[in-house]
Amino acid sequence: MNDKDVIIGQLMAEIQHLRNENKALREEIDRLKKNSGNSSKPPSSDIVKPPKPKGRGKKKRQRGGQKGHKKFERPAFTPEQIDQTIEYELRDKDVEGLEPLDEWFIIQQVELPEKMFHVTEHRARKYLDPLTGQIHIAPIPDTIRKGGLLGGRFTSMVAFMKSGCHGSYGTIQKFCQEIYGLDLSRGMLNKAVQKVSEALKEPYEQLVDQLPHESYLGVDETGHKDDGKLHWSWCFQNSRYCVFHINPSRGSQVLKAVLGETFAGTLGSDYYSAYQKYMKDCSVLIQYCMAHLIREICFLAEHSDAVLSRWGKKMLGWMKKLFETLHKKANYTAKGFKRRMESIKQGFLKQVRRPPDHKLARKLKKRFKGKKADNYFVFLADPNVEPTNNSTEQAIRYLVIDRYVTQGTRGQNGMRWCERAWTVVATCKRQGRNVFDFIHKAIIAHWTKQPCPTLLC
């Protein structure tokens, strides 16, 4: 072998090394392009706002009410709601030549009273038994004695601000000082919140006990910090209510503990391993989130590998047809809709089961091997099952906001309060109920040992 052949061999080896390095770098660049728009990553993990998909946002919507939308007008207060009426009339010298009408130009104005709270001193007379020397005190109603400094409505207001308004103790303390002119320590506010937490225990546990009996539940989880240690906030929801549960574990044992090992309903979830294990161990039917799948396919369609990108775009085409047909279900007969959806399903499966020679494509193909594919299409057979887990993710956004504001909890009491309060707020919203009103009824029922209001409906 002459020197020329040696040099050529070295150059070829260097070229191959550079090609491999270039391929690895391109793979790393593609991986770093993952964001909440093309993967299962949460929006909070985005370094910058992900770009909008092409074809959207071409025409910017104008601010304010849109053309064709009915103007919202607040209904006037009824006579029973009006506390005071002040009439304005022209002076006698100005009314000359004018005929007064039995009509008025009206402005209804809401104003805050100068003093925002009412103080009542409750006095219980003491009585002495001269024979025994024992002191007897006249009984005070339970709502007064158990409330202490803060009455039922004030206690409920503190709890509502802490839960429904994402208020920190410092914020609530400042609000009471600046608006009410009332100085309350953070310890006092915490006591009020814990009183409400105990009152919400029964309605919360009623919902937890109901979970294993549901035919469909959407499930998801997000991080939670308790005293700096990582925990997980689990969300279980359907169209009627929403239950939150904080646990140190993110594993399938949480699902077994909450739902049991004989859960007969369908779970809507992402492709996280805990749900796969729960399905395998307990033979549970799962509808994997189609929205998560679409985002993952979007990542493949945007990949730098041209063959992989073309494959991804073809699958996106099938997903588009599927959801377009789903949204136009009313235009089909029952048989026609079923036939159309089955045709789209088979077209998609044929595409996904013929991947290009790329590890990401082979990885996605494994999800649709044999009967595994059925876990993405349960919603076709059961109209009560949602094709995506969007409702659960929307419910969890409330927790994420609360986490940023309050910086987590510090112990079991804090975690139990969060579980119960989050559940009440989310469930009342779904049922069109007033959160403050429910909290107030719960605390009064708890103090008077009456039946607690329920969140089951």
Give, for 419, the enclosing helix (H) or strand (E): helix 412-431
**How far is Cα 136 from Cα 129, in angstroms, rounded to an integer?**
8
Strand order in the sheet with 229-237: 242-247, 229-237, 216-226, 266-269, 285-288
Give, for 156, the enclosing helix (H) or strand (E): helix 152-163
Instruction: Look at residue 457 in the predicted model and tell me its pLDDT.
Output: 80
**Would you say 425 and 399 are in contact if contact means Cβ atoms under 8 Å apart?**
no
- Strands of 17-164 (E only): list them: 126-128, 135-137
Instruction: Look at residue 42 in the predicted model and tell me its pLDDT.
Output: 62
**Would you say 110 and 120 are in contact if contact means Cβ atoms under 8 Å apart?**
no
Nearest by Cα to 427 from 233, 156, 237, 193: 237
Distance (Å) of CA 285 to CA 281, 376, 446: 11, 11, 39
Instruction: Give the chain's end-to-end CA distance (angstroms, integer).
Output: 87
Instruction: Look at residue 395 in the predicted model and tell me its pLDDT.
Output: 95
**310: which 2 tokens?**
């073309």
Provide the residue-wise pLDDT of the chain in tens; the chain has 457 residues: 677 777 777 878 888 888 887 777 777 766 666 666 666 666 655 555 666 666 555 567 777 777 777 777 889 999 999 999 999 999 988 988 899 999 999 999 999 998 989 999 999 999 999 999 999 999 999 999 999 999 999 999 999 999 999 999 999 999 999 999 999 999 999 999 999 999 999 999 999 999 999 999 999 999 999 999 999 999 999 999 999 999 999 999 999 999 999 999 999 999 999 999 999 999 999 999 999 999 999 999 999 889 999 999 999 999 999 999 999 999 999 999 999 999 999 999 999 999 999 999 999 999 999 999 999 999 998 989 999 999 999 999 999 998 888 888 999 999 999 999 999 999 999 999 999 999 999 999 999 999 999 999 8
**How far is Cα 303 from Cα 30, in angstroms, rounded to an integer?**
6
Instruction: Look at residue 89 in the predicted model and tell me its pLDDT.
Output: 93
Give, for 347, the enclosing helix (H) or strand (E): helix 334-352
List the helix and strand counts (H, then E) for the chain.
Answer: 15, 7
Does pTM surpass 0.95? no
Please, which residues bridge with residue 288 across strands? 269
**How far is Cα 238 from Cα 384, in angstroms, rounded to an integer?**
10
Instruction: Look at residue 59 in the predicted model and tell me its pLDDT.
Output: 66
**How far is Cα 303 from Cα 34, in angstroms, rounded to an integer?**
10
